[in-house]
Amino acid sequence: MATVNPLGSLAGPARRHAGAAVRVGALGGTARADVDGSGSVGPAGASWGLEWWVGADDRWHIPREEAAVRQRRVGGVPVVETAMRVPGGDAVARAYGVGGDPDGIVVEVENASAAPFALALVLRPAGHEGSPHGGGAGEPHPSGSGGALSWVAADGPRVEVDGTHRLLVPRPPMRWATGRAGTGSCRATVLAGEAFADAFGGPGGRVSDPGGSLEVALVFPVAHRTTFRSLLTTAGAEAPLGDAVPGRALAGLATAAEAARGWSALLDRGMRATLPDDRTDELLTAARAAVLLDPPADAAAMAVLEDWGLDAEAAEVWARLGLRARRAARRRPPLPAAPEAALAAAVASASPLATWDAGPVPFLRALRDVLVDDVRGGSRREPAVALLPALPSAWVGAPLEVHHAPTRAGRVSYALRWHGGHPLLMWEVDAPRQRPGPGPILRAPALDPGWSTRATTGDALLGHHPDLPGDPG
């Protein structure tokens, strides 16, 4: 079999990757981007996106067209890893936010294979096949603008995109190609091995298309077992890395694993839960991160942030609400007739990468309704709290923990274990010190409708659950 030049080959038929895009960024930073099912990155507010192709020994591999593509959130947080099979291993793209100085979106590709390959970073208008923001061939950009990219300029390792963003790369591209989006000309040039080897854009270092249909591919060599890292920032921001040598400066940015650990530390506050099934647990991590990263400025989001103990973010949303929305936020909706059914629907509506068309707020509302309720029953003078007011059938017999759930009675924590078909409930209420009188009334209607207590800490072996074997007595 003949050896194929990694800068020339043909790709297979186009293939769409399903699933909503994942928003990435860093808390405290302003940079945001959406990562689609093929690992393409679309900066928030931009009408173009960044795609990645890999030229291996056999042919060019384009993630949106390959069957052997896997994707995951690292640690369940807004750090997205997309792995594509190539000869001798994988090409692994990662996208995540870094805050502070610099503030941007890291886009890196690791060559986890046994041979070097060529990497093409492709800038193209949103709405064309393969661009991020969820657009496919002929589909409009979500903003309704249809997507556009008018010019790209390069000054060594600094690439300016449409005057709105800057792409910092460790070194100037080895080769480059350009064409009109939708015609396939840029792709054909790269795949045929005919990309230009001279300085980008010629004497002016710039390529443009007044019609906004520009497509540009920047090609870099990536040695085996190494990682190519780039950084997307807004052009209006202060130059994030100053006069530092770009390759060294980029290498000093947080890794994907470090970014994921940072997110995990940030999420270790407020109301937390360890749930019986891995999928709902994964969705909880993703939903809490998403609502922290970009909380909607509406009453429902404010209520969810407050009910999950994320008080600082709830206060920020409250400050952005009008009077009518504030009145709505003060009135919590009543517990639905079947909270477990509402939760099941929210879980079923999530994409494989834990995103929702309606956003994370309905899921967080539904899960809170299943875990803790202090809306129905009791009063401000004598609050009542239902621990696990609903119990999904799949959770019967499985352990469960909830920590620091904010209620009118104070912060409530509890753990559920099972002994011979009987639920063992352990609880603790951190009640406000200034509250006079007896403690709040605690109930567990889904576990034992007849049980209640005013003790602020303790444990109780409740009545036998009818769905489990064992001695009802």
204, burial (CB in 10 Å: exposed 0-12, middle 13-18, buried 19+): exposed
User: Where do the H-state alpha helices sit in 200-338?
Assistant: 246-251, 256-266, 278-293, 299-307, 311-320, 323-330
pTM here?
A: 0.88
**Nearest-angstrom CA–CA distance, 186 and 130:** 13
Q: 193, 222 in Cβ contact below 8 A?
A: no
Q: Which residues lie closer than 8 Å to 187 by C-beta, 6 or more apart? A: 179, 217
User: CA 204 → CA 120, 200, 462, distances in Å?
Assistant: 22, 9, 78
Q: What is the reported pLDDT for 472?
A: 63
User: ∠ CA 243-246-247 to the nearest 5 degrees?
Assistant: 150
pLDDT tens digit sequence for 405-420: 999 889 999 999 999 8
Task: Estimate to the nearest angstrom the gap between the alpha carbon of 165 and the chain centroid.
Answer: 21
Share of the chain above pLDDT 90, in %: 74
Cis peptide preceding 102, ω within 30 of 0: yes
Alpha-carbon span 353 to 217, nearest angstrom: 28
The pair of structure tokens assigned to 7 is 């800068």
- Give the helix, strand, coil percentages of the chain, each rounded to 5: 20, 35, 45
pLDDT-based confidence at 144, cuts 50/70/90? very low
List pLDDT tens digits, range 458-472: 999 999 999 888 666
Distance CA 377, CA 94 (A): 48
Burial of 432 (0-12, 13-18, 19+ CB in 10 A): exposed
User: Is the distance from CB of 78 to CB of 96 less than 8 angstroms?
Assistant: yes
Lowest model confidence (mean pLDDT) among 166-180, 194-208, 353-367, 368-382: 368-382
Q: What is the largest CA-CA distance in the chain?
A: 88
Eight-class DSSP state of 61: E
pLDDT 10s digits, 292-323: 999 999 999 999 999 999 999 999 999 999 99
Sign of CA dihedral 140, 145, 151, 157: negative
Span 24-41, pLDDT tens digits: 999 989 999 999 999 999
Q: What is the pLDDT of residues 48-104, one digit of tens each?
A: 999 999 999 999 999 999 999 999 999 999 999 999 999 999 999 999 999 887 789
How many whole angstroms separate alpha carbon 147 and alpha carbon 34?
15
Closest-CA residue to 423 (of 403, 400, 453) = 400
- Counted residue by residue, the chain has a size of 473
pLDDT over threshold 50, residue 7: no
Within 10 Å of residue 114's Cβ, how many Cβ atoms? 12
* Structure-block tokens of residue 81: 């890893």
* AA letter at 120: A
